[in-house]
Each structure stands twice: as C-alpha cells, then as structure tokens.
A and B are shown apart, each in its own frame.
Chain A
Amino acid sequence: MTRIVLAFVVAPILATLVAATSVDFSRGPWGGGFTLDWFAAAWPALAPVIGRSLAVATLVVVLNLCLGGPLAWWVARFPSPATRLTGYLVNVPLAVPGIALSVALIGTYPMLRPSGALLVLGHLVFTLPFTLAALVAALADEELRTNESVARSLGAGNARVLWTITAPTCLIAITQAVTMVFALSFGEFNISFFVNPPATPMAPFALFDAYATQRLEPASAQSLIFIAFVAPVLTAIVLTRRWAPRRTR
C-alpha cells in the first residue's frame, strides 16, 4: 500500500517540484540550475484565485454542516421510506457528469450565476453526499445514542447533549466531512469551469489555463502552491484520528 502511495501520489508531486524549481526543465531535472523564481512569479496572479477558491470552499463547508448536519441527523435517527429516498436522491449528482449537472443548474437557476451563488450551490450539491456518508453512520451509532440518553437522564438539555456528547463523539466523522468537502470544493473543476463567470476563474481552472498556455515550470509552481493549501486539510484528518477518543466497548 505504501509503495502504491509513493508511486502514484508522492512521486508525481516530487516530479512537479523538480520541474517547478528548474530554470529550464526541457534540459532535464534542474537544467540550468535551481530556482524559486517561478513561485515568486506565479504567486501575484494566483493569489486572488486561491483566495476566491478558499472562500468558496469555506462557504461550501459551512453550508454542508448547516444543511448536511440536520439532514444526516434526520436520516440516521428517523429511518423511514422518506429518509431512504432522500439518501438515494442526494447521491444522484455523483452519477451525473459534471457538464450535465452544470448545464442543468445554469438552465434552471440562471439568475444565480452572476453572483457566484450558483457555483456555491453546485459545489454543495456535489459535496453533500460525502457529508451524509460521514455523518449518518456516526449519528446512527448505538453507543452514541446510549451516551446521549444517559446524558439526558443526568439532567442535560438537548443543546448540552449536542455540544458535550454528540459533537465530540462524532469529531472524526465531522472532520472527515469537513476536510473531504473542503478538498472536493477547492479542487472541483467541471462545475467551476461551466458555471463560474470566466472573468473570475477558480483555482483548478487557473491551473488548467497555466498548463495550456504557459511553460511547464511556472505551471508546476502554481500546482505546488495549490497543493500547499490542500495539504494542511489532509493533515487535519490524520491528527484528528490520533486525538479522537477511543471507544470503550
């Protein structure tokens, strides 16, 4: 497993790093010497794009928690034909090609496109299944429900139970949902490309544009800047798993 990760994740990133720090990669690794100039040149143009993508990803995370949290609660705690149907419907966008989803959204809600709301909505539709997948299983856990019952019997109200029992117990699931949604939104290309106005591109489109129109070295530098913003999110998953309380049963 480690070898597969090294071969298909770490090695391409290292290759990109070599390209991004080479003066002229067409002459081989570090051809013409080592440089960080490509990063310095790429950052001014990329910064507002990264900022825009971060803002959208953060908003999508917040909306996922606000909407996906209660929805996951309903699906987990009140199983019925309606909740099962909801579970199926929420997953439909995963099976629909991004272009089809984008065209459907633009055709249905054109008025939301200029403000960027349609982009956020598109990302929300695309990421909600991942939030539900993480949270429903955690919220349906029998041990958690028993713990909540005991907390209530001890005098805790619903808000206190949610804050002191449910949320800490679901910390891993919440972190998984947040990080997954953030990473998916930040790196999402199809909906961003079709829905978003061209004047305000998102980071994945900027990378596509860089590779299509620029030399390999500055495009690689932009790729690494992009990765640098995703890496902390992935690290958060690992740390949360380490710190999370272990089950006692």
Chain B
Amino acid sequence: MTSPHSPVPSSRGAGLTVHDLTVRYGSTTAAANVSLDVAPAETVAVIGPSGCGKSSTLRAVAGLAPVAEGRITLAGRDITALAAARRNIGLVPQNYAVFPHMSVAGNIGYGLRARRTPEPLRRERVRAMLDLTRLEELADRRPDQLSGGQRQRVALARALAIEPDVLLLDEPLAALDPQLRGGLRRELAAMLSATECATLIVTHDQHEALSLGSRIAILRDGHLVQFDTPQVLWNDPADAFVADFLANALLLDVHRNHDHVLALDGRWRIPLGQLAVRPTGHGVSRLLLRRDSFTVTDTADEAALEAEVTHSEFAGDSVQLTVRAAGTTMSLRVAPDARIGRTVGLSVAGGAATLLSPTA
C-alpha cells in the first residue's frame, strides 16, 4: 500500500498491486495517482461517491480502461499493458452480465471453455462452483428464469471458475432490492471467505464496504483519500469527507486547552472531561461527532451551542435533525418525543464524542 494516509506497507508480491494509477478518458481524468494493494484471500473495498473514479480503477485493473500512468501488478506479473483476456481476473459487473443465451452451467463454464480446459476437468470445476454457490438445482436454467440474487451467484461462480488471481466486484449488491441486500451481503461474505482469491469490491455503500472489506480505500474526485482498515477509517478518518461519507460523522478542527477544547472558531467550548480521547495519525486535533454524540435542549444555555434547525425528519425510533451553527451543517438524532423548536442548544453527550489528538 502506498497511500500517504495509510500505515500499511506496500508491495504484496502474490496479490494485486496498483501503483500510482491514472486513468484518463480524453481530457477527463477519472482516477489520479491511485495506489492500493490486495493480498491473496483479502477483500479490499473501494468506496466513494458517483464519479470518484472507483469503477475506472476497477476497469483499469480488468484491462478494460486505458492506463495513462502507473503500474498494475498481479501475482508478481506486470499486467499494465496486458490484454484483458490474459490477466487471469474474475470480473463481476454491476448488472452481473450473465450471458442470456446460455444456461447457468454454460455461463459458469464459459471461461474454462475459452481457456480450452479439458472437458472432464471443466465439468468437475463447474460442479464445484455450482456447489459453492448453491446453484446445483438451477444448472440448466436460463438467466431469465433466475432472481437477481441467483444471477449474482452465477456471475460470481463464473468468475471464480477460472481460479482468478483477483476477483473484481463492481457494486455487487446495487442491482438488488434493498430488502434482500443484508442477507445477500452475508452470503457473499461467506462465499468470498471460502476462496483464497484476492478480492477488490467497488461500492458506494458504506455498509457493504465496512462489512465486506478487510481494508477500505476511499476515493474522492479521482484521488485516494484514505486506505486502511474499517476500524481506522471509522475511528480516525483522514478528513471531514471520510468521516461524513463512511460514518455520517462530523469532523471539526479544534484547539485544545488544558481542560477544554474550542471548536467552530472558538464559538463552542467543550469541557475535555466530556470527551473520549484517542490518538490520531493525522497530525492535528479534531473532534469526531456522530449522530448520537449530541445532547439537544430547547432552552438557552450558556454552555450549549445555539443551532438553527433546517430540517427535521421522523425516522420511527428517532427524529433526524439537520441543524446549522457557526456556518457548519450537522446531522444528529434525537428521541422521537423531543421538543424541537426553530433553534436548539447543542451540547456533547458525556463520552459520546471523541477528541482525536496527536498527543493523546
């Protein structure tokens, strides 16, 4: 791993290494100087908002997007200029791309036929993949007779059948109904853990990234912002974007005094005793506030920060508030029976906010 934001060393010879990758389409730079690595049997999630360059990164690894600069190595081979057909990767695109004119077994065996694998071996491998993905009963079905989850399993089995050096999954759950995603995410995790294959997952869903990735690379505007374990990203985000995108949290720069911290240009004074303190690898003191980090009052209080309520949304067991204070927008959660006026007083709930301090 070569990101300046990550403490994990780079160069894992047997897996996938992407070094300073830049992808351009004409004059548009889709990804710039992206570096990451995936070890064998490891799953790395690449996450970011639409247009951040995550799919371009994946397509470049697959050999389907032009590499303008940088280098990609896979299992010790430099594959930067290698044709897609010769990279030995398993690709599962967002729509699964299950070949509509072939049966389930035909789809799974496609890559093996393309590689001229002897038929007995091919049959055995297809059977093993049908078994792994629990598709034995559906082997002769056509794709239009399958559910979305079953098609996903076909695409996964087809990709794994060729025993790829790396498995590439592009938004693997995005095409499914939201109600099905939780169960299928667990299924997918179980199937991936049953293989020894390095896996790179591209997603815009933080739950997928956090639950499937043993490490997460987060991209914004084509640049890698942070690449580390989910725990590190969750607890010590590199910047406010990472905190917001991955954890719906707010990250404020603070000035630390001996018994309190000052946030929002000194307008919010928070006693140090109310904060959990953790070390940070990012050099400056910052306050990490999650939606449950606040105590909200509707009365004027000298210790509280006055905030204007800009939006209120009932969410069943809570009310999601969007408030604005000192030019900063914050999201927080309050009890459904809380009395909320046009302005509220914000305090930090004891121990529910974290001071990330380089000197902790």
Contacts and interface: CB of A to CB of B under 8 A. Distances in A.
Nearest to B96: A248
B153 interface: no
A110 B84 CA distance: 50
B114 A160 contact: yes
A197 interface: no
Interface size grouping (class) on chain A: 20 to 34
A2 interface: no
A150 B91 contact: yes
B97 A143 contact: yes
Nearest to B64: A149
B341 interface: no
B15 interface: no
B222 interface: no
Interface string B114-151: 11000000000000000000000000001110100001
A246 B101 CA distance: 8
Interface string B142-172: 1110100001000100110010000010000
A155 B162 contact: yes
A249 B155 CA distance: 14
A147 B110 CA distance: 12
A168 to B, nearest CB: 4
Interface in B227-281: none
A154 interface: yes
Interface in B291-312: none
A164 B101 CA distance: 9
B95 A154 contact: no
B93 A247 contact: no
Interface string B85-97: 1111111010111
A162 B90 CA distance: 20
Given A151-B110, A154-B114, A146 B97 contact: yes
B327 interface: no
B91 A249 contact: no
B45 interface: no
A148 to B, nearest CB: 9
Contacts of B98: 248
A169 B101 contact: yes
B186 to A, nearest CB: 24
Given A248-B100, A248-B151, A143 B110 contact: no
B144 A152 contact: no
Contacts of B100: 169, 245-248
B188 interface: no
Given A149-B62, A149-B84, A156 B91 contact: no
Given A149-B64, A149-B84, A169-B100, A155 B114 contact: yes
B95 A165 contact: no
Contacts of A156: 85, 110-111, 114
Contact of A154 (B83, B101, B111, B146): B111
A154 B158 contact: yes
Interface size grouping (class) on chain B: 20 to 34
Contact of A153 (B85, B101, B143, B146): B85
A208 to B, nearest CB: 43
Contacts of A146: 93, 95, 97
Contacts of B142: 245-246
A28 to B, nearest CB: 53
Contacts of B144: 245-248
Contacts of A153: 62-64, 84-85, 87, 89-91, 168
Contacts of A150: 91, 93, 97, 155, 158
A157 B144 CA distance: 26
Contacts of A171: 101
Nearest to A246: B144
Contacts of A247: 100, 144
Contacts of A152: 63-64, 83-85
A23 B235 CA distance: 97
Contacts of A246: 100, 142, 144
Contacts of A143: 95, 97
Interface in A154-192: 154-157, 160, 164-165, 168-169, 171
A155 B85 contact: yes
A151 B114 contact: yes
Contacts of B88: 155
A77 to B, nearest CB: 14
Contacts of A169: 100-101
Contacts of B151: 248
Contacts of B114: 151, 154-157, 160
Contacts of B90: 153-154
B295 to A, nearest CB: 48
Contacts of B110: 151, 154, 156, 164
Interface of B: 62-64, 83-91, 93, 95-101, 110-111, 114-115, 142-144, 146, 151, 155, 158-159, 162, 168
Interface of A: 143, 146-147, 149-157, 160, 164-165, 168-169, 171, 245-249
11 contacts: A143-B97, A146-B95, A151-B99, A153-B90, A153-B91, A154-B159, A164-B110, A171-B101, A246-B142, A247-B100, A248-B98
Closest 7 CB pairs of A and B: A154-B111, A245-B100, A245-B101, A156-B114, A153-B91, A155-B114, A246-B144
